[in-house]
Amino acid sequence: MEILTTLKLLHVLATVLLLGSVLGLAVWVWRNRGDATFYSRVLRRPGLFGWLLMALGVLSLPFSGWWMVHLVGWPLGQTWILASSVLYTLGALAWLWLLVRLNRLRLAKAASGLKFTLALAIFSFVCFFAIAGLMGAKPV
């Protein structure tokens, strides 16, 4: 298989894993929202598997994306590539902040500041979903 085709396939797979893991964890949180001990288990199994899949996606996407842009020969100054880079940076920082907040919730065993935690999760998801839309549209 040609390297560009393989790279596109891996990039799409990482995106699907990232967004699928986010959706899976969101459903898991929604279904367990009444459980008092839920926040002490957020970063443990099976949530750990979802977090690891998301981390793999977050770490691999910039490298595979840059490599594809380099192979195709697109200039990095195109608006949709720059917008995707800014959205990716904001979404990844929100995702890391979300990890810290959820770990604090797990250690404190208290559910305080859940609205801001939810806002971080939604913001991060919207950023990554918008990036997927920009990548699909490729407004060259």
> Can you read off the two tokens belonging to residue 6?
């393989």
Which pLDDT value is given to residue 90?
Answer: 94
pLDDT in tens, 11-54: 888 878 777 777 777 777 777 766 666 666 655 655 566 677 77
**What span, in angstroms and rounded, lies between the C-alpha atoms of 27 and 22?**
9
pTM listed for this prediction: 0.75
Which pLDDT value is given to residue 137?
Answer: 84
pLDDT in tens, 72-88: 888 888 888 899 999 99
**What span, in angstroms and rounded, lies between the C-alpha atoms of 5 and 2?**
5
The 3-state secondary structure of 13-24 reads: HHHHHHHHHHHH
Which pLDDT value is given to residue 95?
Answer: 83
- % of the chain surpassing 70 pLDDT: 79
